[in-house]
Amino acid sequence: MNEPRKLFVKSFGCQMNVYDSRRMADTLAPQGYVETSAPDDADLVILNTCHIREKAAEKVYSELGRVRRLKEAAAAEGRRVVIAVAGCVAQAEGKEIIRRAPAVDLVFGPQSYHRLPQLLARAERDGKAVDTEFPLDDKFDHLAAPSGATIRMRGVSAFVTVQEGCDKFCTFCVVPYTRGSEVSRPVQKIVAEVERLADAGVREVTLIGQNVNAYHGEGLNGRPQSLAQLLEEVSAIDGIDRLRYTTSHPRDMSDDLIAAHRDLRKLMPQLHLPVQSGSDRILAAMNRRHTRADYLDVVEKLRAARTDLALTSDFIVGFPGESEEDFAATLDLVSEIGFSGAFSFKYSARPGTPGAEMSDQVDEDVKSERLARLQAEIDLQQQSFNNRCLGRSFEVLFEKPGRHAGQLVGRSPYLQPVQVTAPASLLGEVAAVTITEIASNSLFGTLAQTPARELAVLGAGA
């Protein structure tokens, strides 16, 4: 038998890339590739890239410099290393990547992952291969499923892509160009995938999509189903204790989805709902298709449906034309809502997007200064949210051994990491924990006596 070939995949960017990287590894497993966590002994290195901000793309090029040196060192020992660039930078830049980084052998976009074995063969035969087509067939039908052992190795919390692409065309965003238009997977295929995960011990599933709440996949009755209906189906699967979904658009936060937060016990009380700005003028320029009032209205409905809901969001500062007054409206929205955490970014002009053509670009210094102010406010809110957890009890899903012997690390319903002194037998289980200490965004706790299902929930607001 041939020696297994070693595969090193590095993911940049969003959770969908993490999921895609795993599916690439699954697709290559039947070809004799085993994953390694050390790039130095890999025969195939795949960088699964992100194009959302300029820095993300630049990181790929500097990583390619390091990988090129590994390739040269291996070649000196007579070993061939194949370098592949996948993901959104690959989709956007195509052949340009090989021009800038000639050590790269293979460039392919997010719609080509199932053709990876053929693309590798082509790169071996022709020296280089580039594939950034949007084929009409459904890649999910061709992507191999992971084995039970592989699922177990990856842990008790899994991502499942249910929707890909975006039709919203926010004026700052490359996603509609790199991932294409919205496609939803059929309910039956998603349910089958989650059942397989549950059989192998997965307890928490996060349904992912660039615009996940626009989900409209074909249901068992042949008609399009909403994300709320999909969540209900997935929630009926034995063994799955926790459900999450990300990332959502405020416009698609429909009444049935809001009601799902009230009705589905397995749906965790945490929602990532990007707002980007608190200024109506900027929201309009961003083509967000919602106002500040629309966002506040959705948040109010959500909090009425589920009082213990914690909200996180994304913000962009320094979008073209953003005045100090517009930025103040963002700060004001943040204090009005009270987030448990948020990501905030300086606007980065992406070639090909309408925002990049706008004349009134904001100075980098101004962007940096606004970002620092926004992040300081968000940090305070996160600390305040964490502090409110002190003395509370809630369910923790134990994911891995902790920093010290006898400790496990799990996640709270709000996604906070929690370190607990607990027996290893609780790995992969959900147990009640009382929070006893908070230190720089890490929570510490002890196993609680209260039966997990009867715990008091954390109140909203305050």
Q: How far is the CB of 248 from ligand 5AD (least distance, A)?
A: 10
Examine residue 374 and tell whether it contacts ligand 5AD (CB under 6 A).
Answer: no
The single residue among 51, 179, 249, 350 that binds ligand 5AD, judged by CB under 6 A, is 350
The rounded distance, in Å, linking the Cα atoms of 337 and 142 is 43
The single residue among 23, 53, 261, 272 that binds ligand 5AD, judged by CB under 6 A, is 53
In three-state form (DSSP H/G/I as H, E/B as E, the rest C), the secondary structure along the chain is CCCCEEEEEEECCCHHHHHHHHHHHHHHHHHCEEECCCHHHCCEEEEEECCCCHHHHHHHHHHHHHHHHHHHHHHHCCCCCEEEEEHHHHHHHCCHHHHHCCCCCEEECHHHHHHHHHHHHHHHHHCCEEECCCCCCCHHHHCCCCCHHHHHHHCCEEEEECEECCCCCCCCCCHHHHCCCCEECCHHHHHHHHHHHHHCCCCEEEEECCCHHHCCCECCCCCECCHHHHHHHHHCCCCCCEEEEECCCHHHCCHHHHHHHHHCCCECCEEECCCECCCHHHHHHCCCCCCHHHHHHHHHHHHHHCCCCEEEEEEEECCCCCCHHHHHHHHHHHHHHCCCEEEEEECCCCCCCHHHHCCCCCCHHHHHHHHHHHHHHHHHHHHHHHHHHCCCEEEEEEEEECCCCCEEEEECCCCCEEEEECCHHHCCCEEEEEEEEEECCEEEEEECCCCHHHCCCCCCCC
Examine residue 209 and tell whether it contacts ligand 5AD (CB under 6 A).
Answer: no
Q: Which is nearer to ligand 5AD, 320 or 445 (CB)?
A: 320
In the shown chain, the binding pattern of residues 401 to 430 toward ligand SF4, with x for contact by CB under 6 A and - for none, equals ------------------------------
Which one-letter amino acid corresponds to residue 56? A
Rounded CA Rg of the chain: 23
The single residue among 12, 19, 347, 444 that binds ligand 5AD, judged by CB under 6 A, is 347
Q: How far is the CB of 456 from ligand 5AD (least distance, A)?
A: 33
Q: Which is nearer to ligand 5AD, 88 or 106 (CB)?
A: 88
Q: How far is the CB of 81 from ligand SF4 (least distance, A)?
A: 34
Examine residue 112 and tell whether it contacts ligand SF4 (CB under 6 A).
Answer: no
Q: Of ligand 5AD, ligand SF4, none, which one sits near residue 210, judging by CB under 5 to 8 A according to partner kind?
A: ligand SF4
The single residue among 348, 393, 416, 419 that binds ligand 5AD, judged by CB under 6 A, is 348
Q: Which is nearer to ligand 5AD, 274 or 413 (CB)?
A: 274
Q: Of ligand 5AD, ligand SF4, none, which one sits near residue 347, judging by CB under 5 to 8 A according to partner kind?
A: ligand 5AD
Q: How far is the CB of 263 from ligand 5AD (least distance, A)?
A: 28
In the shown chain, the binding pattern of residues 246 to 285 toward ligand 5AD, with x for contact by CB under 6 A and - for none, equals ----------------------------x-x---------
Residues binding ligand 5AD: number (CB under 6 A):
12
The rounded distance, in Å, linking the Cα atoms of 331 and 51 is 27
In the shown chain, the binding pattern of residues 245 to 264 toward ligand SF4, with x for contact by CB under 6 A and - for none, equals ----x---------------
With contact defined as beta carbons under 8 Å apart, do 109 and 90 qualify?
Answer: yes
User: Rule CB under 6 A: which of 149-178 touch ligand 5AD?
Assistant: 172-173
Q: Which is nearer to ligand SF4, 51 or 261 (CB)?
A: 51
Q: Which is nearer to ligand SF4, 203 or 290 (CB)?
A: 290
Q: Position of tokens 């090989």?
A: 98
Q: Which span sits near ligand SF4 by CB under 6 A: 117-125, 168-176, 344-352, 383-391? A: 168-176
**Taking CB positions, which residue lies at the least distance from ligand 5AD?**
314
Q: How far is the CB of 60 from ligand SF4 (least distance, A)?
A: 19
The rounded distance, in Å, linking the Cα atoms of 27 and 33 is 9
Q: Of ligand 5AD, ligand SF4, none, which one sits near residue 48, judging by CB under 5 to 8 A according to partner kind?
A: none
Examine residue 345 and tell whether it contacts ligand 5AD (CB under 6 A).
Answer: yes
The single residue among 175, 212, 228, 435 that binds ligand SF4, judged by CB under 6 A, is 175
End-to-end Cα spacing for the chain: 64
Q: How far is the CB of 127 from ligand SF4 (least distance, A)?
A: 35
The count of other CB atoms within 10 Å of the CB of residue 442 is: 14
Binding site for ligand 5AD (CB under 6 A): 52-53, 172-173, 274, 276, 314, 316, 345, 347-348, 350
Binding site for ligand SF4 (CB under 6 A): 166, 168-170, 173, 175-176, 210-211, 249
